[in-house]
Chains A and B, each alone.
Chain A
């Protein structure tokens, strides 16, 4: 079957629209999460340096800013991994099913 026919059938399949909406909403939520964490962190630095310089515990030298900063780095990696895992399994399965239905 030609690609154009498959495309025409996918366009008519209500599952496709649902799939696109589900995944795009997920992408947008993840993007907003990332922006909130990153811009939140730098705005915290801009507006409240004292807080970040607070010690993690009385008598400790490490400030709360350091685990938070490393935390943002780790959060970035983990968020990416979570998205890729879901996209490569759940979303790809939905997509494959839609393409398969249209190719019949």
Chain B
């Protein structure tokens, strides 16, 4: 859902009158489809298998380290798949292929944006995270800082990102279940809440990791099959595919070039910054780097993740064009009332699902629907776990109890938090059912790049950075990113219903201002900070540098 919501949100802001997305119906208005038993049974099988894995994982989850990081025993390759499973959402699959189906080339622009954050994590963050951190990214930012303020800030930054992301996921799950399974919204919200809580509560990070790995493998396999089937129809000639697509598509040759997606360069750069640096500030992604045993494996995992995610986006592009060439010539089967002008049955986001039927029959369509829904479970499980660790490890164990707490108590607090977050997510899903939550993921990325990323980056790489500077700058980034996003057209006009043109902040993302402000405030406040505490923190920098660069003294996440 994440990306779909983002696409709709970003598109609402970027497009003039939404012309480009004319073919892509808003999932917020999803119509309930006929009950799809094949998909429901396939999804049931997925849940059955993952629950068995959870049972196996539960036997291995005894300490807080097992719960947060699977005992640090995940390999780089496995972690790469799990990261891909954590990141590739139902929406990047259905949304991007739907966008390609509707407007061709513009879909490609979106998928690129969602990939470019990964090299930044690789070059700047991955191994430093692994060397400095233990369970949460606050361990990294707080390595030489005053634990109270920095961890409180980091936990807030994490929880805000997790909450926005969760809302988008839960509402997305509810809309998807209507589309894919033909069931009621409320079933999805309850189902996702209960299954996700079971994974996290009993199986902790081990179960979450394997759910993400299985989901990634299923999604990549299904998408590969579809793209392969499409390319086979054209003798593996992209040109032949494009010729046919241009011939049948109502926009003709316009699908080969950029449409109205990017017009205003400030918005383009701002959205680009949010995507590029926001990825490096997502707590559920950062947390995955603590599950591997060494910096070397951390680097390998991000290289694999980038490869799988990039490969997946290339597939969605082919799938979108495959939908054009397969569905449009058969309007009676796939379009409302058999008329192309009325759009695809279930909306533009159903392009990939209809294509699954076209190339693989009902059984394969059931499989793809089940995979698309299962995808949400993997993402919410990761989110909940990172939210729970922010509360139990940062707020409870480190800030409130000053680290004087045994593993069993910390684990118990984690589990209680997991239940609370699960209930919270279900309630949010219900509350936001009728709301337009298209902006939520963009908001999560804006906060991640304006609050979490600058604090992490400066605390690790700049020797003069102090607690006061980091907390002040991070807070400015957090508040300004939320405020500017609310004042932007996607929220102010599209969600809050104010008249067009009334938005106080005209651009699609806050990042260009809020991220810059965060860095500037961290820099100025740190420079002005002449306290004894600041001197102590600066003196600790060489030791932090040695550990972050060499791994000497880094906590062996391995509990074995």
Complex: chain A residue closest to B116, CB-CB = A38
A87 to B299, CA, bound (A): 8
Q: Which chain B residues lie closer than 8 Å to A60 at the CB level?
A: 239
Q: Which chain B residues lie closer than 8 Å to A20 at the CB level?
A: 545, 549
Pairwise interchain contact A7-B553, C-beta atoms closer than 8 A:
yes
How many residue pairs link A and B with beta carbons under 8 A? The number is 159
Could you give, for residues 381-393 of chain B, a 1 whenever the CB lies within 8 Å of some chain A CB and a 0 otherwise?
0000000000000
Pairwise interchain contact B119-A83, C-beta atoms closer than 8 A:
yes
A74 to B550, CA, bound (A): 30
Determine if A88 is an interface residue (Cβ-Cβ < 8 Å). yes
Given the known interface contacts A6-B552, A60-B239, A62-B238, the answer about A30 and B119 at a Cβ–Cβ threshold of 8 Å is yes
Pairwise interchain contact B310-A73, C-beta atoms closer than 8 A:
yes
Given the known interface contacts A43-B265, A95-B549, the answer about A84 and B258 at a Cβ–Cβ threshold of 8 Å is no
Pairwise interchain contact B314-A73, C-beta atoms closer than 8 A:
yes
- Chain B nearest CB from A101 CB (Å) reads 11
A62 to B124, CA, bound (A): 36
Pairwise interchain contact B239-A63, C-beta atoms closer than 8 A:
no
CB-contacts of B228-243 with A (<8 A): 238-239, 242-243
Complex: chain A residue closest to B307, CB-CB = A77
Give the A interface residue count (CB, 8 A).
53
CB-contacts of A70-104 with B (<8 A): 70, 72-74, 76-77, 79-81, 83-84, 87-88, 92, 95, 98-99, 102
Pairwise interchain contact A52-B258, C-beta atoms closer than 8 A:
yes
Determine if B263 is an interface residue (Cβ-Cβ < 8 Å). yes
Pairwise interchain contact B127-A76, C-beta atoms closer than 8 A:
no
Pairwise interchain contact A34-B116, C-beta atoms closer than 8 A:
yes
- Chain B nearest CB from A4 CB (Å) reads 8
Pairwise interchain contact A65-B258, C-beta atoms closer than 8 A:
yes
Determine if B109 is an interface residue (Cβ-Cβ < 8 Å). yes
Determine if B20 is an interface residue (Cβ-Cβ < 8 Å). no
Pairwise interchain contact A83-B122, C-beta atoms closer than 8 A:
yes
Q: Which chain A residues lie closer than 8 Å to B261 at the CB level?
A: 45
A contact face: mostly helix, strand, loop, or mixed: helix
Complex: chain B residue closest to A60, CB-CB = B239
Pairwise interchain contact B550-A98, C-beta atoms closer than 8 A:
yes
Determine if B306 is an interface residue (Cβ-Cβ < 8 Å). yes
Pairwise interchain contact A52-B306, C-beta atoms closer than 8 A:
no
Complex: chain B residue closest to A55, CB-CB = B256
Complex: chain B residue closest to A89, CB-CB = B296
Pairwise interchain contact A69-B549, C-beta atoms closer than 8 A:
no
Could you give, for residues 11-55 of chain A, a 1 whenever the CB lies within 8 Å of some chain B CB and a 0 otherwise?
100001001100100011011001100110111011101101100
Pairwise interchain contact A35-B276, C-beta atoms closer than 8 A:
yes
A36 to B278, CA, bound (A): 18
A27 to B122, CA, bound (A): 9
Pairwise interchain contact B550-A70, C-beta atoms closer than 8 A:
no
Pairwise interchain contact B550-A10, C-beta atoms closer than 8 A:
yes
Determine if B112 is an interface residue (Cβ-Cβ < 8 Å). yes
Pairwise interchain contact A80-B306, C-beta atoms closer than 8 A:
yes
Given the known interface contacts A42-B109, A70-B108, A76-B306, the answer about A31 and B272 at a Cβ–Cβ threshold of 8 Å is no
Could you give, for residues 298-312 of chain B, a 1 whenever the CB lies within 8 Å of some chain A CB and a 0 otherwise?
011011001100110
Determine if B68 is an interface residue (Cβ-Cβ < 8 Å). no
Given the known interface contacts A19-B549, A31-B120, the answer about A80 and B302 at a Cβ–Cβ threshold of 8 Å is yes
Q: Which chain B residues lie closer than 8 Å to A65 at the CB level?
A: 105, 108, 256-258
Q: Which chain A residues lie closer than 8 Å to B120 at the CB level?
A: 31, 34
A6 to B552, CA, bound (A): 8
Given the known interface contacts A10-B550, A84-B302, the answer about A38 and B314 at a Cβ–Cβ threshold of 8 Å is no
Determine if B269 is an interface residue (Cβ-Cβ < 8 Å). yes
A43 to B109, CA, bound (A): 11
Q: Which of B246, B256, B296, B543 has the largest count of A CB atoms less than 10 A from its CB?
A: B256
Could you give, for residues 337-357 of chain B, a 1 whenever the CB lies within 8 Å of some chain A CB and a 0 otherwise?
000000000000000000000
Pairwise interchain contact A62-B123, C-beta atoms closer than 8 A:
no
Complex: chain A residue closest to B297, CB-CB = A88
- Chain A nearest CB from B110 CB (Å) reads 10
Pairwise interchain contact B303-A62, C-beta atoms closer than 8 A:
no
Pairwise interchain contact B123-A31, C-beta atoms closer than 8 A:
yes
Pairwise interchain contact B256-A61, C-beta atoms closer than 8 A:
yes
A20 to B463, CA, bound (A): 14
Given the known interface contacts A10-B552, A38-B112, A42-B262, the answer about A80 and B269 at a Cβ–Cβ threshold of 8 Å is no
Q: Told that A69-B109, A99-B550 touch, could you supply 8 new A-B pairs with CB distance under 8 A?
A: A19-B549, A28-B123, A42-B268, A45-B262, A49-B257, A63-B256, A80-B303, A88-B300
Q: A-side interface residues toward B, CB under 8 Å?
A: 3-4, 6-7, 10-11, 16, 19-20, 23, 27-28, 30-31, 34-35, 38-39, 41-43, 45-47, 49-50, 52-53, 60-63, 65-66, 69-70, 72-74, 76-77, 79-81, 83-84, 87-88, 92, 95, 98-99, 102
Listed by A's residue number, 13 A-B pairs whose Cβ atoms lie within 8 Å are A28-B123, A34-B120, A39-B272, A42-B113, A45-B268, A62-B242, A63-B105, A65-B257, A76-B112, A77-B306, A80-B303, A84-B300, A87-B299
